Amino acid sequence: MDVIDSMSASKDTKQGTPLEQKDFPPYFVREQLLIRLLMTYIGTGVFFMLLPGTFLGVWNLFAISGGHSPQAVPDSWIQAHGHAQLFGWIGTFILGIGFYSIPNLRKVASFNFQEAWVILVLWATGVAIRWVSNVYQWQWRLLIPVSAILEIVAFLGFFYFSFKGYRAKSTQARSVELWVLLVLSGCVGLLASLVFNLVECFDLSLHAIVPAIPQAVDHRYLFLSTWGFAVPIAWGLTARWMPPLLGLKESKKTCLYAALSTNVLAVISAVAGFPLQAACLSILAAALIPLGLRLFEPTASAAKTSGVHVTFPVFMRIAYIWVIVAAALQLWAAFGINTEGISGAARHALTVGFLATMVFTVGPRMLPAFLGRKQLYSGKLMFASLALLSLGCLLRVSFEVLAYQHYLSWAWTVLPVSASLELLAVTLFGVNMIATLRQPPLMPVMDEAYAASKKKK
């Protein structure tokens, strides 16, 4: 498609005029407004990733390392960090990409997509209030339930438009693709996580002394919000985009269906209070997914790495190694008593090793195309962020087990190093994404009919 840059576009329009009032066809204006919406969702997610998420996590780990004990930091701080990372960062990214991908969104939403902007404000405000309440504990009995209500209202709004957009499609009967089932499973998991969170927030408000979910309950909640929400959505997006991009052979659908079913059973088992059964099922699901995607088999064609670093296929596979490592550590922890270091390492392997590596790999490959750009700002920054993230995660997972389980006393000194490497990786990713967002969009030229009508005038 032919393109014009933003400088030439500005010469043909009045400076300062709102986009919808410029002399562009309606379909073009709406596409640019939708791109702006996605840019804001991504920018909001990057903010939560950098400050409330990663920075607080690094601060916590320095304190824990200095005190040689996880009790050196309040549980409310650790939970604030986790909530900001999972819902503020990953959740906002998923909602933004979801809005951009909703079938017929342009038919069911207002011209300026005002509903999606309202949902972003509700979601981001809810996550921010939760972080502030957990860290500063100011009026937390009132604010924590408010934050949970805002988050669930925002998601229900997103779900409403997703359903409405789907209903606006052709009424002809069509089979649901497998990757859609994986994503739908994750959306159900997100709704369940938000309901679980709402119940626990009201319970904290009425009965707790500090704004921290009890550890046993928190473990169930974390399993639900990771394996039930983020993980199946990541699997679904991989099944949708990665086979053609990585040149993979045709997926084995039987394995993918088995992985989906097994993972659902694992989540139900964890929430019901059967951690050993949940761990056994999750490791089976984690092994079935790459087998079904044929990630580690010889490829059918060369990977498409145009616009990104050539190591893109390598890090995609590394992410799926981490999800297996996470499940294996989780199984190890389920067999023992006082295995806080092992279970913590399992969560880190899943959230950073798998989920963050997925975002750092898939984001630079897909987001520039969604945002009307042809390529990432810097492939070198992409590689640097992924390499540092992988090294930091390897050190964190390995030495957290050694330190927390008291296997090696000097292992505590390595944890701040791992945190610093991950902070640097996250910062480089954020810089790369922000620089990509700041590039002028590649705006498509008006269609021939519209151009012809302009000439007649």
d(CA 329, CA 41): 33
**Numbers of helices and strands, H then E, in the chain:** 19, 2
Q: How many CB atoms lie within 10 A of CB 90?
A: 26
Q: Which residue has the higher pLDDT, 63 or 315?
A: 315
Which distant-in-sequence residues (6+ apart) come within 8 Å of 121 by Cβ?
A: none
E strand or H helix at 418, and its extent? helix 415-438
- Average pLDDT in the chain: 86
Predicted confidence band at 174 (pLDDT cuts at 50, 70, 90)?
A: low
Report pLDDT for 23.
59
Give 397-436 pLDDT, tens digit per residue.
999 999 998 899 899 999 999 999 999 999 999 999 888 8
Sole residue written with tokens 């750092």: 360
For the CA atoms of 228, 230, 235, 241, the dihedral, rounded to the nearest 10 degrees, stands at 150
Q: Give the chain's length.
A: 457
Longest dimension (CA), the chain: 81
Give 311's DSSP letter: T
Query: Is 349 a residue whose pLDDT tops 80?
Result: yes
Residue showing tokens 């499973």: 185
CB-based burial label for 216 (10 Å; 0-12, 13-18, 19+): exposed
> Cα 11 to chain center, whole Å?
38
- The 3-state secondary structure of 156-192 reads HHHHHHHHHHHHCCCCCCCCCCHHHHHHHHHHHHHHH
Find the mean pLDDT for residues 106-119: 83
Question: Cα–Cα distances in Å, from 76 out to 63, 89, 126?
Answer: 14, 19, 16
- Percent share of the chain, pLDDT over 90: 58
Residue 448 has pLDDT above 50, yes or no: no
For the chain, how far is it from start to end, CA to CA, in angstroms?
25
Task: Report the pLDDT value the prediction gives residue 68, as an integer from 0 to 100.
Answer: 82
Amino acid at 388: L
At residue 1 the predicted structure's pLDDT band, cuts being 50, 70 and 90, is very low
- pLDDT (tens digit, 9 = 90+) per residue, 118-170? 999 999 999 999 999 999 999 999 999 999 999 999 999 988 887 777 666 65
Is 70 exceeded by the pLDDT of residue 395? yes
Q: pLDDT at residue 368 above 90? A: no
113: left (phi over 0), alpha (psi -120 to 50) or beta: left
Q: Using an 8 Å Cβ cutoff, are 51 and 420 in contact? A: no
Least confident of 219-223, 276-280, 305-309, 329-333: 305-309
The tens digit of pLDDT for each residue in 197-224 reads: 999 999 999 999 999 999 889 999 999 9
Of 180-194, 250-264, 429-443, least confident by mean pLDDT is 429-443
Q: Determine the Cα–Cα distance for residues 431 and 337; give it in Å rounded to an integer.
A: 42
Helix 26-48 and helix 357-370: axis angle, to 10°? 160
Q: Is the pLDDT of residue 375 over 80?
A: no
